[in-house]
Amino acid sequence: MSAALESHRPIHYGPRRHIASIRERLDALSFDRFEVVPQSPCLGAEVRGVDLGKPMDDALRAELERALVEYKVLFFRDQSITQAEHAAFAKRFGELEVHPFLPEGEAPEVIRFAKDEDVVGVENNWHSDVSWREIPSLGSVLRAYEVPAVGGDTLWTDMEAVYEGLPEDLKKEIDGRIAVHDFVHTFGLALSEEERAEKRKQFPPARHPIVRTHPVSGRKCLYVNTIFTSHVEGLPEDESRDLLKRLYHETEVPEYQVRFRWEKDSVAFWDNRSTQHYASSDYWPRHRVMERITIIGDRPA
């Protein structure tokens, strides 16, 4: 086989066998306060029987947190909630973030994504929200206000499954290594040189382990992404680029993903510590209006 053909061969053929154990673990779960309908073998579940606009007691909160950690992204339908109710729900899981670059809604914690023929969707890259912060997010709660009849889906990928499926030699290669995350090559592009320098003082490049351990489940996951990870510490530029490229390739494997078709008043609540997501930008010039609230998390370890 030629070197050119060899270089384009996928890393893996056939079933991702470790998904079977993930599916078995999820199948064994039970919840008292709501029904859970899995949406893929790895991650994602629709939660039925919860009204996000109503006050949440501690028992319900604990069950939802357990479901979030295990399924990694929870979907809720028909949630006609106000921004205040949206924020109240998210706040039950931690302190809320104010994003320094994205447009606010009626409250500073609310990010409003309003896309139309003039403002196009550019979130169609695999990423974990605000990984460029020294303390990134725990999770995000996104609600659909206006969606096209077709298109505008969001996809999530299970970064625990991604890590578990890596070849053993690659796991050894990344064990203990640190990657640097930075906003400069994304949000920084819209800033002047002076504005960028000022924001850099507030948000210096963040150093996170390539493999982080989930603070609740204790499971390991891959924690690098295409838009915020700049390089791997201690490696020459070309080696860093090649290593990250190999890791990003695994993030794109469909077997590790779930895809959600939005409807008006649908809500997705995902764990940024163990997932990445991708907003499909296939609906232009139709309108898509979403509001997101992000919950501050912990320092990756």
The DSSP secondary-structure symbol of 96 reads B
Q: Tokens for 216? A: 């609740």
Beta bridge partners of 38: 45
Location of structure tokens 């990870």 = 229
The residue among 182, 260, 255 whose CA lies nearest residue 225 is 182
The residue among 149, 211, 150, 201 whose CA lies nearest residue 175 is 211
Pairing relationship of beta strands 275-279 and 220-222 according to DSSP bridges: unpaired
d(CA 138, CA 142): 14
**Region of residue 40 (left: phi > 0; alpha: psi -120 to 50; beta: else):** beta
Residues belonging to the active site: 127, 129, 277, 292
C-alpha distances in Å from residue 60, one per residue of 17, 25, 31, 46, 73: 34, 21, 10, 16, 17
Query: Are 80 and 53 a contacting pair, CB within 8 Å?
Result: yes
3-state helix, strand, coil in the chain (%, to 5): 25, 25, 45
The residue among 67, 1, 82 whose CA lies nearest residue 37 is 67
d(CA 92, CA 117): 36
